Structure 1
């Protein structure tokens, strides 16, 4: 009985294990450029996004995995870099001209709110991000 109790206490005290986040990107209308994906835990700026990658854009989209993430709160930003410039292109008013998306679909009618894009990761999880242009799509 003591052995069972000791094992139960050890399991309860064990640190939370790392998880795999799968970002399912949908809505890709053309196989042009690359998808740039950032997983952020502090803000949407470069210092707040500790994990990121680029993958070829394919129609209608793709899954991208981020293994080894610690449990916590995260937000995801994705854009389709059509011209390979490494930056989200904007018009003269500062509005995006390339397809983009955020977790929880924030940033469609107002600038994206980091707090609005946050979700909890406590184990392996898949979230969907639909990329589309600001107008249309």
Structure 2
């Protein structure tokens, strides 16, 4: 009896049963608690929608946000909203759906007809703001971002 074919068969079956360890998952990015202080809401009942962006290339592009939140003011003109964000540069765009139709209404030129706001007191008139104008940098816990300027068209 030839031992070579038997040895090859045994080695082949051993390698078929061998398992490759699964790649370890990517380490979770530590987030920091950032508090958004949102003031002077147009409505104390209508939902406020927040779209967070961490990439200048996707800023204000439909469906390209990194995080989306919706909050009801529950009778308040000002709200404090804690958000967990990864360290780095972020921008946020807010809108308030004052007619509760679940969308940001716009006129025939594409300009929003419902209140909207950005950090850094940016109040655009003729063009959308840039990521650079609206950005804030998350560096550690306890950071506060104030949003007090609303465009009420």
- Per the normalisation by structure 2, the TM-score is 0.68
Alpha-carbon RMSD = 2.2
Aligned equivalents of 2:113 and 2:33: distance in 1? 31
| Mapped pair 1:61 → 2:74 | no
In structure 1, what is the Cα distance between the partners aligned to 2:139 and 2:108?
41
Query: Structure 1: which 5+ residue stretches go unaligned?
Result: 1-15
Indicate the residue corresponding to 2:39 in structure 1: 26
The count of corresponding residues between Structure 1 and Structure 2 is 120
CA distance in 2 between partners of 1:134 and 1:95 (Å): 11
Q: For the pair shown, which has the larger CA radius of gyration, 1 or 2?
A: 2
Larger proportion of strand:
1
Residues 1-137 of structure 1: pairs in structure 2 closer than 5 A: 17-42=30-55, 43-57=59-73, 58-67=75-84, 69-109=85-125, 110-124=127-141, 125-130=143-148, 132-135=150-153
Residue 115 of structure 1 aligns to a residue whose secondary structure is helix
Distance 1:21 1:46, change over 3 A: farther
Deviations 1:44-84 (A, max 9, x none): 224542112111134322011112x2210000111111122
Note the C-alpha offset of 1:106: 2.5
Q: 1:112 to 1:100 in 2, by over 3 A?
A: same
| Residues 78, 129 of structure 1: 8 Å contact kept | no
Cα distance in 2 between the residues matched to 1:28 and 1:19: 26
